[in-house]
Amino acid sequence: MKMPHRKVERYFGKFFSVMVVTIFLTISILSIILYMNFEKIALRQSYDQTMGSLAQTTQEASVMAVTAATFAKQIHSDQNVANLLNFPDVSALDIAVSIRQLTNYRETSPFIESIYVYNAEARTFYVSSDMNVPSVFSEPEFYDQELRSMLQHVNDYNTLMPIPRKLRIDGLVGNIAERERDTYTFLLYDTLSKKSRKNAVVVNIKETQLHKHIDGSLTNAPTNTFLIDENGTLVTNSWKTPMLSSLKGTTYIDRILRDPEGSGYFAAEVDHVKSLITYSRSDYLGWRYIRIVPYSVISQNIDSMRTKTMIVAGGILLAGLALSSLLSRRIFSGLNHKLSRLGKLETEQRESVQAMRMDYLRSLLKGYTQMNARHAADRFERYSIPLDPLQPVRVLLIMVDDHLLFVNRYKAEDRKLLIYGVLNIAQELFAAAGIPATAADIGDEQAAVLLQMSGDAEGDRERCKESASWIQTAVSEYLKLSVTVSSSLSGPGVEAVHALYQQAVEASYSWVFSGAGSHIEAEEVEQNKTKRYEYPLHKEKQMIDELMLGRIADVRQLFREIIVDTAAYTYISYQFAVSHLIFALQNALRIIRSHSPSNEDWEFINLQLYMPHSRTETMEQFIERCMFLFDQLENQMNERKKSRQDELPGRIKKILDERYADPNLSLDMLAEELGMSATYIGRVFKQHTLQTILGYIQKVRMSRVRELLLHTDAPVGEIAERAGFSNSPYFFKAFKKYNGVTPAEYRRTGRGRTDDDGVEAGIAAD
């Protein structure tokens, strides 16, 4: 079966959109990954290159320091210079020779800016400099005032270690442009001497020579390389910041200072420009080498590659979309049938698994399958049943109230859907409450729930009550149905499920007592089963007697007492009492109907006097139905009584006149034949004839005896039997009492009369 055209187009649109988004995301993600990887590679290469450059710079600084230290030591050990250090009075010739030697040392290396020899005793400086200054200065006249202060506290400085400082040369003769120079000063003095003033050799190294090796230029280049000491102070010039400026407090410098022993790189903003900052660990001079490269310099090639990649990717995307649009329709034309078939197969598989799950649970509850825990564990896992076969369980049985109305109102398919809705509601409620449970349709518009218990008897009982209330409320709200829930006792595990289900079923029969929307607990049913029920036979007999007498009010009371008394026992007791009562009532009503006139309609008895169904009629409904029956019966009997009371005495007289010779004729025999109570017919007969039935029988019999005595020669004993007297002594006694003479005397006297009118008159008088 093919899908409609619009639906196919809609699926195609979704399919094509997914393809477009997938291609776009794939290209975008790959481009981002490539860009990020290239960026990492570029940063790493920049870091490696910078670290190589910094290593070379370190080497240059080391060469500078070693060269300065070597020169200082050579100068200190030079014999010509020794005269300037050791003797306060030196001839002009010796000074000239020594100054020339210092100049030779200075000109040997491009690093050296000037060399000083300080004679502490003479307080004299001997100078060799690239500036046009005198060669000899007394201490007060010496132009390098900072050095003078340093030599006064020379012990505060390490020997032969570079001391970055600014050499002020403003005002020197022949110097017009410069005001100060950035230099590194190396001091060599006798560390063993305890004198406060010490002779010293001072070598000043030009900072510009070192900076050329560090940054390659003193111009405003994109990159910036400089050195700092352990306190964050610049020990070289930066094209932005002069030497000896403190950078401590700057974010990226503070980050470097927090890592005193490490080297590395990171990205940060420097002067509002995102830059890559590379730094080295401290060298033996205590200096750290820092290089700042703007990101734009590093990512210039990457950005170009990114732009080209985006252009190429966009072209590929457009071409891919065009090709996909052509191919996807062709592919999707055959995919339509496969998708429909796949959806159908998935639905069939899901329904099949659900059906097998329901069949297994139904078989488990009704005892048709194995009940051992190992087998159940395998099945529970296969059908995704969230229960532990070894843990305690209870069974809740859910029944739709007023089953007959439910069946008449809904078709079979609708009833099945409603029960499925009940199952879903139960499972959703338990899942939301975190209670492991599973539900199954067990047929006959009933559902069962297997509920995992904790093992605490009282707690589990309360949980069942709460669960039953949840289910009843939700089913009433969403499905507009009234349901009754019966719960079993707790069982030790899956092996007890069948027995627990039977308990729940047995408890459900007590619905006749509790009514619709109730919760019935097996605990109460089990307690009622311990009581012994005895059917009140004496009340039944009394009820039937009252019915025969037409006392319907008493019949109602006795009937209700017998039925209501069974509510304290079990459903079996109720059924037993109901069946006895129905049987007794049917017999009594059959007798009443047989003695009723043929024109009376008793069909209402057949329509209403039947056994109640356990799921369609409660005890109160059954009593109400029977009370209505009694009302109709009372009306029928009252109407019949009015007409019967007039004709009943005639019927009785007719029967007595015809059967007076029967020696067994009695009030009870007559009542049984008429289908009425002896008391009733006796009362009605006396009201109409002013005599009793026994009196009338005696009168009829005596009249027959007198007639036979006068007109026949039969013996008196035979006449007595023919008149219905079976006891001769009683007959003679009764005849004399009734007639005043014995039978023989009556015959003799009666025959002596010749006037028949007199005889008849005598008989009438009797």
Task: Report residue 681 as tokens.
Answer: 């017919």
**Does residue 435 share a domain with residue 306?**
no
Q: Which of 61-75, 215-229, 341-355, 376-390 has the highest mean pLDDT?
A: 376-390
Q: Does residue 239 belong to any structural domain of this protein?
A: yes
pLDDT level of residue 629 (50, 70, 90 thresholds):
confident
In which residue are the tokens 């190294």 written?
A: 205
| DSSP annotation of 248 | B
What does residue 236 show for φ and ψ, rounded to 5 degrees? -140, 165
Q: Facing residues of 180 across strands?
A: 168
Averaged pLDDT for residues 418-429: 89
Answer with the residue of higher pLDDT: 313 or 509. Answer: 509
d(CA 741, CA 730): 14
**Does residue 486 share a domain with residue 385?**
yes
**Does residue 225 share a domain with residue 202?**
yes
Return the pLDDT at 55: 67
d(CA 28, CA 30): 5
Among 297, 316, 331, identify where a domain stops: 297
The pLDDT tens digits of the residues spanning 155-164 come to: 888 888 899 9
**Does residue 268 share a domain with residue 141?**
yes
**Does residue 742 share a domain with residue 613?**
no
Poorest-confidence range of 177-181, 621-625, 690-694?
177-181
Whether residue 623 contacts residue 685, with contact meaning beta carbons closer than 8 Å, is answered with no
DSSP H or E segment with residue 463: helix 457-479
Q: Give the CATH number for residue 69.
A: 3.30.450.20
Q: Facing residues of 273 across strands?
A: 270
Among 297, 317, 332, identify where a domain stops: 297
Q: Does residue 14 belong to any structural domain of this protein?
A: yes
**HEC assignment per residue over 307-369:** HHHHHHHHHHHHHHHHHHHHHHHHHHHHHHHHHHHHHHHHHHHHHHHHHHHHHHHHHHHHCCC
Q: Does residue 112 belong to any structural domain of this protein?
A: yes
Q: Which of 77-81, 218-222, 531-535, 760-764 has the highest mean pLDDT?
A: 531-535
Q: Are strands 393-400 and 200-206 parallel, antiparallel or unpaired?
A: unpaired
Q: Could you list the residue range(s) of the whole structural domain that residue 613 is in?
A: 537-637
**Does residue 624 share a domain with residue 713?**
no
What does residue 107 show for φ and ψ, rounded to 5 degrees? -80, -10
Q: What is the DSSP string of 129-151?
A: ESSS--SEEEGGG-S-HHHHHHH
pLDDT level of residue 759 (50, 70, 90 thresholds):
very low
d(CA 676, CA 621): 31
**Does residue 730 share a domain with residue 616?**
no
**Does residue 579 share a domain with residue 505?**
no
d(CA 401, CA 378): 36
Name 565's Cβ contacts closer than 8 Å, sequence gap at least 6. 536, 577
d(CA 624, CA 619): 9
Strand, helix or coil for residue 502: helix
Q: Does residue 487 belong to any structural domain of this protein?
A: yes
Q: Give the CATH number for residue 421.
A: 3.30.70.270
Q: How many CA atoms lie within 13 A of 618 on its CB side?
A: 15
Q: At what angle do helices 667-674 and 619-659 cross, to 10 degrees?
A: 120
Q: Give the CATH number for residue 667.
A: 1.10.10.60
Q: Does residue 358 belong to any structural domain of this protein?
A: no
Q: Other C-beta atoms within 10 Å of 117: how many? A: 25
**Does residue 239 share a domain with residue 102?**
yes
The pLDDT tens digits of the residues spanning 567-625 come to: 999 989 999 999 999 888 888 888 777 766 655 555 555 546 666 766 678 889 889 88
Averaged pLDDT for residues 634-649: 70
Q: Does residue 359 belong to any structural domain of this protein?
A: no
Q: Facing residues of 267 across strands?
A: 276
First to last CA, the chain: 109
Q: What is the share, in percent, of the chain residues with pLDDT greater than 90?
A: 7
Task: Report residue 575 as tokens.
Answer: 């059924």
Number of domains in the chain: 5
Q: Does residue 360 belong to any structural domain of this protein?
A: no
Q: Does residue 363 belong to any structural domain of this protein?
A: no
**Does residue 379 share a domain with residue 312?**
no
**Does residue 243 share a domain with residue 122?**
yes
Among 602, 637, 672, identify where a domain stops: 637
**Does residue 18 share a domain with residue 106?**
no
